[in-house]
Amino acid sequence: MPQRIFEYLAALNLKGMYPNLYYVFKDWFGVEWKALYLLNTFGLMVALGFVAAAVVLSSELKRKEKQGLLLPREEAITVGMPASFLDLFVNFVTGFVFGYKLLGLLLNKPDDVTPQTYIFSRDGNLLAGIIVGAVLIALKWWEKNKQKLKEPEQRNVRIWPHDRVGDIIILGLIFGILGAKLFDAMENLDELISDPIGTLFSGGGLTFYGGLILAAIAICWFAYKKGIKLVHLTDAVAPALMIAYAVGRIGCQVAGDGDWGIYNSAYLSDAYGKVTECTPGEFKQQLNKYASYHLERRILDSGNVYTYIPAARTFPSLDAVPHLSLKAPSFLPKWMVAYSYPMNVNKDGKKIPGCTEEHCRVLPQPVFPTAFYETVVCTLLFLMLWAYRKRIKIPGIMFGAYLIINGFERFFIEKIRVNHLYSVLGFQLSQAEIIAFFLILAGIVFIVIAKLKYARA
């Protein structure tokens, strides 16, 4: 991107989104390291969210173990065995995939191919895959050989619930992503039918509640098999889930991944994303000016003016475009109520003049930055749960409270977000609103049952 674009955006106090770490280092340090293209900002924040969840969950499990609420479990393990064929094979496959794809991404990716496209293609670096696979085989053999005994023996070890946090987080990651993709595909069936592979394996398109539901099922099954009391585990998980969500939403905001709200009709956005106040008449003129962006369409137009727009943000007429007029108080910056997400990771919007790089688009109208709101609100809710966790003596109350406040938070934020709507008993609700409603009910039921079961104990 020409440097003048960054300079112009900086002068407007709008440095733009950071789709990946390349843009972070370019903007902050003035260096252009192309290898950083593969490090997605949203993915990085999601990873940090899982780290935060692991720290909080481990702390809570240890506290409950000291209270005698959670107990260790003895398991028999065999020590002193040499490396098996399966051990070596798994390490080779892991190393081969890492070298073939990730090192291939660094060494062989063409400039006109995105990292996501390259990762899910058949291309890679064969030599790098073989070398890394061989190195991991050697390391595994060396590790097992160092621990080998003349006579392998079985030992009983005590494993506490907090020792299993790593397994719980990995299960949450795998089934969370799977559930998020599946629920998003269900919500966007037209996109799934038209491009099933592209939809399921794209870097975007994640539904939080889908991930939460499937991950919860997997983790509860794992805990049951390992003898961990579910009621105490869920209480420990509650604040961890809240902070993980807050951190993850930072990634949505910083990368501009599409989780924004409806238009704020009190403002206009110029070609670079600068936001200024406007009148209702000027807002309507702006809608008409970019009518082809707002109306129902699924492919690039002939002039390549706009990129692909998800079905949830296209409308049958301009009168159907949702918006709300709200001016920011004088003590707050305008971007907190109206932001146009220049250089967003979705490549959504109109072209930025003079910009030639991959992420050179800006929304034609400023929207409510709902991801920012959720980060702030969920951080405060986490602090509230964390402050009150030691005062709650009845098992199950903490998790029930989490379900209720999480449901209310998401239900109300959906009122200023754009999603598919379903007709339910005469009400028009999004998938997230429907699930949020049932989470609130589940939280109430959870608390009632907890009080009936444990209050008398």
Per-residue pLDDT at 372: 94
Torsion 219-225-231-233 (CA) sign: negative
Q: When comparing pLDDT for 444 and 35, which is higher?
A: 444
Domain boundary among 368, 398, 418: 368
Residue 411 lies in a domain: yes
Residue 108 lies in a domain: yes
Residue 360 lies in a domain: yes
- Please say if the pLDDT value at position 228 is more than 60: yes
Torsion 454-380-44-369 (CA) sign: positive
Sequence-distant (≥ 6) Cβ neighbours of residue 240 within 8 angstroms: 52, 53, 54, 56, 57, 60
What is the pTM for the complete model shown? 0.79
Residue 305 lies in a domain: yes
In this prediction, residue 205 has a pLDDT band, given cuts at 50, 70 and 90, of very low
Residue 171 lies in a domain: no
CB count, 10 Å around CB of 296?
11
Structure letter (DSSP) for residue 424: E
- Please say if the pLDDT value at position 182 is more than 80: no
362, 392: one domain? no
Q: How far apart are CA 351 and CA 339, in angstroms?
A: 16
Per-residue pLDDT at 1: 43
Torsion 181-184-185-191 (CA) sign: negative
C-beta of residue 269 within 8 angstroms of C-beta of residue 275 = yes
Residue 21 lies in a domain: no
Kindly list the distances between the CA atom of residue 42 and the CA atoms of 38, 185, 247, 258, 368, in Å, as whole numbers in the listed order: 11, 20, 10, 11, 19
Residue 131 lies in a domain: yes
351, 398: one domain? no
Kindly list the distances between the CA atom of residue 45 and the CA atoms of 21, 50, 183, in Å, as whole numbers in the listed order: 11, 9, 21
Phi/psi at 380 (5° precision): -65, -40
- Please say if the pLDDT value at position 395 is more than 50: yes
Q: How far apart are CA 235 and CA 60, in angstroms?
A: 9
Per-residue pLDDT at 65: 96
272, 348: one domain? yes
Per-residue pLDDT at 406: 94
C-beta of residue 262 within 8 angstroms of C-beta of residue 418 = yes
C-beta of residue 166 within 8 angstroms of C-beta of residue 54 = yes
In this prediction, residue 11 has a pLDDT band, given cuts at 50, 70 and 90, of very low
Domain that includes residue 326, residue range:
262-368
343, 406: one domain? no
pLDDT digits (tens, 9 = 90+) for 104-123: 777 776 655 656 566 666 78
Q: How far apart are CA 198 and CA 196, in angstroms?
A: 6
360, 407: one domain? no
Domain boundary among 104, 122, 155: 155
Per-residue pLDDT at 361: 86
134, 85: one domain? yes
Torsion 87-90-93-95 (CA) sign: negative
Tokens standing for 169? 């987080």
331, 397: one domain? no
Lowest average pLDDT, out of 78-92, 261-275, 346-360, 395-409, goes to 346-360
Residue 18 lies in a domain: no
pLDDT digits (tens, 9 = 90+) for 255-291: 888 789 999 999 999 888 889 999 889 999 999 998 8
Tokens standing for 385? 């749960």
330, 401: one domain? no
Phi/psi at 423 (5° precision): -85, 115
298, 266: one domain? yes
Per-residue pLDDT at 208: 61
342, 273: one domain? yes
In this prediction, residue 212 has a pLDDT band, given cuts at 50, 70 and 90, of confident
Q: What is the mean pLDDT of residues 1-20?
A: 52
Domain boundary among 89, 122, 155: 155
pLDDT digits (tens, 9 = 90+) for 287-322: 999 888 887 654 444 444 444 455 556 788 888 889
Phi/psi at 434 (5° precision): -65, -45
Per-residue pLDDT at 310: 55
348, 399: one domain? no
427, 331: one domain? no
Lowest average pLDDT, out of 5-14, 104-113, 441-450, goes to 5-14
- DSSP three-state, residue 202: coil
Domain count, the chain: 3
